[in-house]
Chains A and B, each alone.
Chain A
Amino acid sequence: MSNRFVSIWFRYLRTDWFTIRSPHLKDTPVVLSAPVHGRMIITGTNTLAESKGIERGMALADARAILPHLEVFNDIPDLPERLLRKLAEWCIRFSPIVAIDSPDGLLIDATGCSHLWGGDDQYAEAITKKLNARGYHVRVAMADTIGVAWGMARFGKESLIITAENHPSAFMSLPPEGLRIEDEISERLHKLGLHTVSEFINMPRSSLLRRFGKEFMTRLDMALGAEIEMMQPVIPLEPYQQRLPCLEPIVTLTGIEIALQQLLETLCGRLQEEQKGLRSAVFVCYRVDGKVERVNISTSRPSRNVNHLFKLFGEKLSGIEPDLGIELFVLSAPKVEEHLPAQESMWKSLGGLKDSRLSELVDRLTNRIGLNAVQRYLPDEHYWPERSFRQATSLSEEPTANYQVGKVRPLQLLRTPEVIEVTAPIPDYPPMLFRYKNKVHQIVKADGPERIEQEWWIQGGQHRDYYRVEDEEGNRYWIFRLGHYHDKTYRWFLHGFFA
């Protein structure tokens, strides 16, 4: 299949934008002006102003002389770039590859796209109609190379849809400016009486190269298709992406579910072939009114199980607002990892952390209640109790350190230690009694002290002297004194409960 490219020329991009914002400008001549070397120079015009002979580069004063009731606006310097970027993103509905063609156009790689609209003519017509409806004056041309499409959009006279057979003749009829070359070179060509490509294309390459330079030859080759031209898509291509355009806008949940199911099946089929599984996926719905709805999911382990992924999405689908309808669904997997089939069949009956059913359960839980709610801990090499463990990044992460098992630790630790009142006989002796939540506990047995110092490179502060104590009822506590006894600034805290 040959490549097909669409070039869109926004002839009055800036003035169109002003007209869209204030519709009453539709029937008045509008120009945009910007100061250049101390003079106000016209940088953009609309159709009406242009028909009266006002052109770009003219001084504003001259234009005022021609048309006294001219509407003048100050030009916004980066307006075209911003507008084109937005329009390019909007045009993603026509093809995944859309590029900005500065200063006033867009390029679309339409290879294999137009049949979804019923043919090249309908495809170009759809683009024109939709952009016209938004209020932009456009010329849309379609050809086998970017060069010809660009030239035809700006200088084409008859049909702008160039089929493969018409390609040479359309190319021949282009003026030199249609080749995207420097103004100076095209002017020189005109001076030499070469007004269309056909008049110089048969000249020897060596003499063309000598007279007009290398750039000129590259442009010529690009238009002919002899040299490949690269495009810079506005949205980088997702390698794992599936698209589903709809003939009729979808408004029901059932419709969305069918679309999702279909997309998941094709995507997972592809992942299956490549022995991969996805870690995160985005389901994007493009609405008729230009808004975009999206749903994200992530998994704790690479997965390509359609049912499981569908369930993960399922809980969030009801949040999508179809409004007037959705015309395009895109499912992409930004994060994909190796997933060998051996992993699945192993230990089916045994369970454990490697089991896919467990990771699917964890996915369901995180999907509904958030990523931070589900935690697994691994040892970390710190003595400070709060830092002696860290969160694992995944279900399969293996511990890299060991827990210190020499000292007894309480089964339950308070998030923040609670202040208690303590009576202790002499320094370094365990306390005799303490008061916690208005209840006095007589200490019968005690172990300690166990001093734990602050890690000064992480956090400053005083050390803790821990005691393991048991009261007369058999309750066991972990209490500590913060700071030295003789400093008189120490305080006592309850930090945990032993089983």
Chain B
Amino acid sequence: MASASKSDIISTLRDDILRIEGFKRPVLSGSSSNLGLFKNAFPNATFPTGCIHEFLSEKPEDLAATAGFVVGLLSNLMGEQGTCLWISTARKIFPPALKSFGLEPEQFIFIDLKNEKEVQWAMNEALRCKAITAVVGELTDIAFNDSRRLQLAVDQSEVTGFVIRYRNKHNNHSTASVSRWKITPRMSEAIDDLPGVGFPTWHVELLRVRNGKPTTWQVQWREGKFVPLEREVFEIKERKRQWG
């Protein structure tokens, strides 16, 4: 009896710690059902929303892949009514392309700013606004204190924030974000063995996650969903291609 209550206490304490760290118990599990692929890497086995995710990318090609992955996540989070603010200093997103990720470009509000300081200010303001679903910010770097500030802003508003750190030499210092990802493009798989470029395919690395386990996936964006690439099948096909 005594031991049972002890384990109860421990599990509630664990929940409390998770809550303090920015992971909330899922309120609507249906909204992020397509993200089931990634959920096991996170505590509570749910993809965390209402927190800050961080992405590292170096080259413009990586940035495109990262943007694609983020847009894929957004299409699972936003639904029909949601809105997203995309804040950056050198925006390259081509609105019509959002359509192919199942999103309505009208639901996006793009904010083009002159410098990083303004981006951080705008993100801070936007993350406090409960009426929006997600905020994406493109930055070269973010200091620990600034990331902490962003995390505090989302604590109250339940908005999900995505920070893309782009072209930064000292990418490795720690921040207050809940997770850190790195997305790189990888060779696409031929569709039905036809020649030509296949579906968007990425090498997704979850480098760091608080209280979860870092994992890597090979993911394809296919018919509005994240689909894992089966490694063996992929490798066989690769080999076939190389041998001709």
Q: By the criterion of a CB under 8 Å from any partner CB, how many residues of chain B are at the interface?
A: 55
**Choice from A358, A474, A476, A497 contacting B83 with Cβ under 8 Å:** A358
Look across to chain B and name the residue whose beta carbon is closest to the beta carbon of A437.
B60
Identify the 6 closest CB pairs spanning chains A and B, nearest first. Answer: A499-B68, A497-B64, A413-B94, A355-B131, A352-B81, A475-B61
- With known contacts A361-B131, A470-B187, A498–B64 Cβ distance under 8 A: yes
Q: Given A357-B129, A388-B96, A410-B94, A373 and B111 touching (CB < 8 A)?
A: yes
Q: Are A411 and B94 in contact (CB under 8 A)?
A: yes
Instruction: Tell me, rounded to whole Å, the shortest Cβ–Cβ distance linking B189 to chain A.
Output: 10
A429 within 8 A of B: no
What are 30 A-B residue pairs whose CB atoms fall within 8 Å in the complex? A347-B81, A351-B131, A352-B81, A353-B107, A358-B129, A368-B121, A373-B112, A373-B113, A376-B106, A376-B109, A377-B105, A378-B105, A378-B106, A379-B105, A385-B96, A389-B95, A399-B106, A403-B96, A403-B105, A412-B64, A413-B97, A445-B196, A445-B197, A474-B184, A476-B64, A476-B197, A496-B92, A498-B64, A499-B64, A499-B69
Name A445's contact: one of B81, B132, B195 (CB within 8 Å).
Answer: B195
Q: Is the CB of A351 within 8 A of B94?
A: no
Q: Told that A388-B96, A411-B71, A446-B196 touch, could you supply 6 new A-B pairs with CB distance under 8 A?
A: A369-B113, A409-B94, A411-B93, A473-B187, A474-B186, A476-B188
**Given A413-B94, A446-B196, A470-B188: A362 and B109 interface contact (C-beta under 8 Å):** yes
Contact flags (1/0) for B100-140 with A, using CB distance below 8 Å? 11000111111111000010011001100111110000000
Residues of A within 8 A of B122 (CB): 365, 369
Contact A353–B83 (Cβ < 8 Å): yes
Interface string of B191-227 (1 = CB under 8 A from A): 0000111101110000000000000000001000000
Instruction: Indicate whether A469 reaches chain B with its CB closer than 8 angstroms.
Output: yes
What is the CA–CA distance of A475 and B69 in the complex, to the nearest angstrom? 14
Pair B96/A376 contact, Cβ less than 8 Å: no
Nearest residue (CB) in A for B72 is A499
Counting contact residues on chain A (CB < 8 A from B), the size range is: 35 or more
Q: How far is the CA of A409 from the CA of B105 in the complex (A)?
A: 13
In the complex, what distance in Å separates the CA atom of A145 from the CA atom of B11? 86
Task: Say how far B119's CB is from chain A's closest CB, in angstroms.
Answer: 10
Question: Cα distance A365–B83 when bound, in Å?
Answer: 16
Asked if B43 is at the interface of the complex by the 8 Å CB criterion, the answer is no
Q: Are B197 and A470 in contact (CB under 8 A)?
A: yes
Quick check: is B163 within 8 A (CB to CB) of the other chain? no
Q: Report whether A499 and B65 are in contact in the complex, using a CB–CB cutoff of 8 Å.
A: yes
Interface flag for A350 (CB, 8 Å): yes
Q: Given A352-B131, A353-B107, do A409 and B112 touch, yes or no (CB 8 Å)?
A: no
Q: How far is the CA of A309 from the CA of B43 in the complex (A)?
A: 42
Q: A364, A374, A411 — which one has the most chain B CB atoms within 10 A of its CB?
A: A411
**Interface positions of A (Cβ within 8 A of B):** 347, 350-353, 355-358, 360-362, 364-365, 368-369, 372-379, 385, 388-389, 392, 395, 398-399, 403-405, 408-415, 444-447, 468-470, 472-476, 496-499
Contact B197 A499 (CB under 8 A): no
B contact residues around A399 at 8 Å (CB): 106
- Return chain B residues, CB-CB under 8 Å to A392: 106
In the bound complex, CA of A29 to CA of B98 (Å): 80
The interface residues of chain B lying within 8 Å CB-to-CB of A403 are 96, 99, 105
A344 to chain B, nearest CB (A): 12
Does the CB pair B109–A369 fall under 8 Å? no
**Nearest residue in A to B129 (C-beta to C-beta)?**
A361
Give, as a whole number of angstroms, the nearest-CB distance from B102 to chain A: 11
Assess whether B161 is interfacial by the CB under 8 Å rule.
no
